[in-house]
Structure 1
Amino acid sequence: MANKTTRKPAKASKKAPRKRAATKAKPRKAAKAAKPRKAPPKPRAGKVVLLSGGNPQIAKGYGDTPVEAYITAMPGWKREVGRRLDALIARAVPGVKKAVKWNSPFYGVEEGVWFLALHCFTKYIKVTFFRGADLRPVPPGPSKHKDTRYLDIYEGALDEAQFTAWVKQAAALPGEPM
């Protein structure tokens, strides 16, 4: 009895391949060209690019120079508030260390250990206190990180006395290495 699962090998076709009749080729419709992806804008010499929300694109660097470049590039009213924040931080924490990392100014009491950062958004400046949960009173902006708190500064809404108190407290706490 033959096994029903075995198959016979397929026979090779003896027919010659068909030749296409010479016909007039129809013109094909042009395929829609994919929109080319925009490359991020490249900064020109002396010109700073503003990223989404108006945050200046500044190269990573340590010291006063990159932080001053960031503040100078802040758009509109934020530039003057940025200068004021920088002056308040420098006065509250003599010898403060500064850097620009991830397109944001960072402030710390020692190189590589930070207690505060700034970031521009369309309508406000966000101040990040990395150990903000330990400050009194606690800054109002919550974070998904339990220790971090935020302060959003809108045009004309800077409480210098409270900000200075938070800066002094934050500088006295252990910072965040980054």
Structure 2
Amino acid sequence: MAGKTTKASAKKTATKTAGGAGASTEPVLLSGGNPQIAKGYGEAPVQAYIAAMPGWKSRLGARLDALITAAVPGVRKAVKWNSPLYGMEDDYWFLGIHVFAKYVKVAFFRGAGLDPVPPGPSKQKEVRYLDIREDDELDEAQFSAWVKQAATLPGEKM
């Protein structure tokens, strides 16, 4: 099998390249284009994640972040499990964002309690999703209404 690159060896190479001398400043993207950002609390890691989102997804991430921040003054932010999380108190989150190859997924952790309920079902009873693709037009008023409602519900401990 000499000369054959496996997913594991490719990931090790990417990790070495990202941290080694002369490393590229390009962010490391995981499967589906999700940025690999170190766990952290506050504005800086969330903005690093948004900046690392590939192509049109970065502009969408910045807009979602702005809408969330405007809808919920004082919202807490963190990056955990390579996803930005938003909540009202540390380690209790009402919303998360995750990048996939062809869309951005917004998870409302208590989405079943929102009115109207976001369209994406989940295997988890309370979770609902909003998948946003490149050519989709985001209903900003509806999104902001969901965010405001979600912020009033008990957060998910993570």
Of Structure 1 and Structure 2, the greater helix share is in: 2
Which of 137, 143, 148 matches 1:157?
137
Calculate the aligned-residue CA RMSD, in Å: 1.5
By relative contact order (CA 8 Å, sep 6+), the higher-ranking structure is 2
* Deviation string, structure 1 residues 77-97 (Cα, Å, up to 9, x no partner): 111110000000000000100
Aligned-partner residue type, residue 138 of structure 2? L
Question: What amino acid is aligned across from residue 148 of structure 2 in structure 1?
Answer: K
Kindly provide the CA deviation profile for residues 85-125 of structure 1, in whole angstroms up to 9, marking residues without a partner as x.
00000000001000000100000001110000000111110
Report the number of matched residues.
147
Question: Which residue identity is paired with 2:109?
Answer: F
Task: Evaluate the alpha carbon distance shift between residue 48 and residue 165 of structure 1 in structure 2; reply closer, same or farther with a 3 A threshold.
Answer: same
Work out the CA distance in 2 between the residues paired with 1:128 and 1:157. Answer: 18
Q: Please state if 1:173 is matched with 2:142.
A: no
Map Cα deviations across residues 16-39 of structure 1 (whole Å, 9 max, x no partner). Answer: xxxxxxxxxxxxxxxx65845424
Bigger strand share: 2
Provide the TM-score with structure 1 as the length reference. Answer: 0.78
1:25-174 to structure 2, matched below 5 A, reads 33=2, 35=4, 37=6, 38-40=9-11, 41-42=14-15, 43=18, 44=23, 46-155=25-134, 156-174=136-154
TM-score by length of 2: 0.88
Runs of 5+ consecutive residues of structure 1 not aligned to the other structure: 1-31
Percent identity, aligned pairs only, is 68
Q: Paired residue for 1:19? A: none
Gaps spanning 5+ residues in structure 2: where?
Answer: none
Q: Which has the larger radius of gyration?
A: 1
2: CA distance, partners of 1:124 / 1:39:
24
Q: CA deviation at 1:47?
A: 2.8
